[in-house]
């Protein structure tokens, strides 16, 4: 299997982290990887806020119920909604949110490829995080990528029980065995 597929298949959210800081070069490599993610309209409607200070990281945790890990670095992926409006995206256009996902997925994979632990968090107070990060009024944090070094001891992987199989979720063509619809 090639290295990219291998990385995609082995990436997991890692929440058990050491207290070691993330080396600046590694952090830069992770943040820069988002430049190469696909973006709707090929516009730069997103802003990235990088946090490494222990006090600010601790404050972020306090307003982020979904931040179960203690990251030693974090990247808030933000949308500049004023830029979105200027560009003319209608409010219902999912592009800006999809772009948050492409940027986050790219950073998670980059971190994994560098041996870092990483995990996305969306359960946080947008207002509180924007205030802590001193973001301009129209720039809203939408997802935080938590980063650190993986602890030696990790909880066992959670196994999905029951539910549909992957084949149940994928439909190849109308009328193939995976489809429940009549031709």
- Smallest gap from Cβ 68 to ligand FMN, in A, equals 5
Closer residue to ligand FMN, CB minimum distance, 64 or 135: 64
The one among 120, 125, 126, 150 contacting ligand FMN by CB under 6 A: 120
Cα–Cα distance for residue pair 12/117, rounded to 1 Å: 8
- On the CB side of 33, CA atoms within 13 Å amount to 20
- Smallest gap from Cβ 13 to ligand FMN, in A, equals 4
- Smallest gap from Cβ 174 to ligand FMN, in A, equals 29
CB 71 within 8 A of CB 57: yes
- Smallest gap from Cβ 172 to ligand FMN, in A, equals 24
- Smallest gap from Cβ 124 to ligand FMN, in A, equals 7
Binding of residue 102 to ligand FMN (CB under 6 A):
no
- Smallest gap from Cβ 164 to ligand FMN, in A, equals 16
Sheet holding 46-51, edge to edge: 46-51, 73-80, 139-148, 117-121
Closer residue to ligand FMN, CB minimum distance, 97 or 172: 97
> Interface residues for ligand FMN in 123-182 (CB under 6 A)?
123
Per-residue contact string for residues 12-41; x = within reach of ligand FMN by CB under 6 A: xx----------------------------
Cα–Cα distance for residue pair 4/26, rounded to 1 Å: 18
Q: How would you write 36-60 as a 3-class SS string?
A: HCCCHHHCCCEEEEEECCHHHHHHH
Say which residue the tokens 């909880």 belong to: 155
> Interface residues for ligand FMN in 38-77 (CB under 6 A)?
66, 68
Which positions ≥6 away from 12 have C-beta within 8 Å?
157
Closer residue to ligand FMN, CB minimum distance, 82 or 98: 98
CB burial string 20-30: b at 16+ within 10 A, e below: eebeeebbebb
Residue ranges binding ligand FMN (CB under 6 A): 12-13, 66, 68, 119-123
């Amino acid at each position: 299997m090639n290295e990219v597929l291998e990385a995609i298949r082995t990436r997991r959210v890692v929440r058990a982290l050491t207290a070691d800081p993330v080396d600046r070069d590694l952090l830069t490599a992770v943040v820069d990887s988002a430049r190469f993610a696909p973006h709707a309209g090929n516009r730069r409607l997103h802003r990235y806020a990088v946090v490494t200070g222990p006090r600010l990281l601790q404050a972020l945790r306090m307003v982020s119920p979904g931040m179960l890990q203690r990251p030693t670095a974090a990247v808030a992926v933000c949308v500049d909604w004023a830029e979105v409006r200027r560009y003319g995206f209608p409010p219902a256009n999912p592009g800006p949110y999809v772009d948050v996902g492409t940027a986050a997925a790219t950073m998670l994979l980059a971190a994994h490829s560098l041996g870092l632990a990483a995990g996305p968090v969306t359960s946080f107070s947008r207002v509180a995080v924007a205030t802590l990060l001193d973001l301009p009024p129209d720039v809203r944090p939408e997802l935080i990528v938590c980063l650190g070094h993986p602890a030696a001891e990790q909880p066992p992987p959670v196994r999905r029980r029951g539910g549909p199989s992957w084949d149940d979720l994928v439909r190849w063509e109308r009328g193939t065995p995976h489809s429940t619809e009549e031709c």
